[in-house]
Amino acid sequence: MSSAVRFETVGLRYDAYGPEVLRDVDFTLPAGSFHFLTGASGAGKSSLLKLIYLGAAPSRGQVTVFGQETTRISPADRTSLRRRMGVVFHDFQLIDHLTAFDNAALPLRVAGQKPKAYSEDVQELLNWVGLGARIESYPPALSAGEKQRLAIARAVVGRPWLILADEPTGAVDDDMAVRILRLFVELNRLGATVLIATHDHELVGRSGMPSLHLDRGRLTQVPA
């Protein structure tokens, strides 16, 4: 089976004399797999995701995404790689001066699609995450849970091959958390590789999906 993500003795330091926040991280996510990423606060979950979506470069070792080494990638390849990923950021990273609709449609728009072509899909997706009535609202006017759902809509709108979600259920109630998890499971069933960082052990237990566990920058539990 081909791998979607592969880490080989990866280390990460944010600055040259600072501590290594990830140490000797080694794992492979097969294409089409579904994993959780757990660990205490500060263990390095967000940092690990950042290495995958090319938000940072490893200080040592090698990160490979869909067969491409991230440290040797050209700007053009980096862009096409990012277009195949959907990321739910911990802090959502929504654009405040764009409506919910425009935020959700952003990946399609920057990829050059015309509004005519995507309007219907985007609206349908926003309905699905319960934001059908808020498509004209701007992010500052949304509740934390609504922002989170909008961030999720944006992450999945482009039918990505790889979904990375950083605590995607942190700000929503249990019913919505289950609904969101169902969305990810459904997308995974359609072929997407999914990696979800979370504190929510109940959610992990309920889903029955495997997880990777980080302890102070080291991976202590790897998928079989």
Partner 1 sequence: MRSYRPGPLLPTREGRDVALFAVVAILCFLATFGAMAAAAAQRAADGWSRAMAAEATVQVNPRPDESGDQAAARAAEILAAVPGVIEAEALERAEAERLLRPWLGEAILPDLPLPHLVVVRLDPDQPAQAAALSRALAEAGLDARVDDHSVWRSDVGHAAQTATFAAIGLAGLAALAAGCAVIFACGAALQARHEMVQVLSLTGATHAYIANLFQARFAWLAAVAGAAGALGAIGLLAAVILGGGDQGLTPALPFDWSDIVMAAPTPVLAAGLAALAARLTVRRLLHVAYRTETRG
What strand order describes the sheet that includes 218-221? 85-88, 162-166, 193-197, 34-39, 211-215, 218-221
Determine contact, residues 156/125, Cβ cutoff 8 Å: yes
CA–CA separation, 181 vs 175, rounded Å? Answer: 10
Beta carbon of residue 197, minimum distance to Mg ion (angstroms, whole number): 6
Beta carbons within 10 angstroms of residue 3's beta carbon: 16
Q: Which is nearer to partner 1, 10 or 177 (CB)?
A: 10
Query: Residues 47-76: x/- map of binding to ligand ATP (CB under 6 A)?
Result: x-----------------------------
Which residue number, 59 or 99, has a Cβ lying nearer to ligand ATP?
59
Residues 9, 26, 42, 119: which binds ligand ATP (CB under 6 A)? 42
Helix-strand-coil split of the chain, %, nearest 5: 40, 25, 35
Q: Which of residues 87-126 bind ligand ATP (CB under 6 A)?
A: 90
Length of the chain: 224
Which residues inside 58-97 make contact with partner 1, applying CB under 8 A? 58-59, 70-73, 75-76, 78-80, 82-83, 87, 93-95, 97
Contact flag: residue 106 with partner 1 (CB under 8 A):
yes
Restricting to residues 11-40, name those near ligand ATP by CB under 6 A: 14, 21, 39
CA atoms of 192 and 188, how far apart (whole Å): 4
- What burial letters (b/e) apply to 164-178, b meaning 16+ CB within 10 Å? bbbbbbebbeeebbe
| Angle (nearest 5°) at CA 55 between 52 and 57 | 75
Q: Could you say whether residue 116 binds partner 1 (CB under 8 A)?
A: yes
Which element (helix H / strand E) includes 166? strand 162-166
Among 8, 20, 24, 102, binds partner 1 (CB under 8 A): 102
* Interface residues toward partner 1, by CB under 8 A: 53-59, 70-73, 75-76, 78-80, 82-83, 87, 93-95, 97-99, 101-102, 105-107, 109-111, 115-116, 119-120, 123, 154, 158
* Interface residues toward Mg ion, by CB under 5 A: 46, 90
* Interface residues toward ligand ATP, by CB under 6 A: 14, 21, 39, 41-47, 90
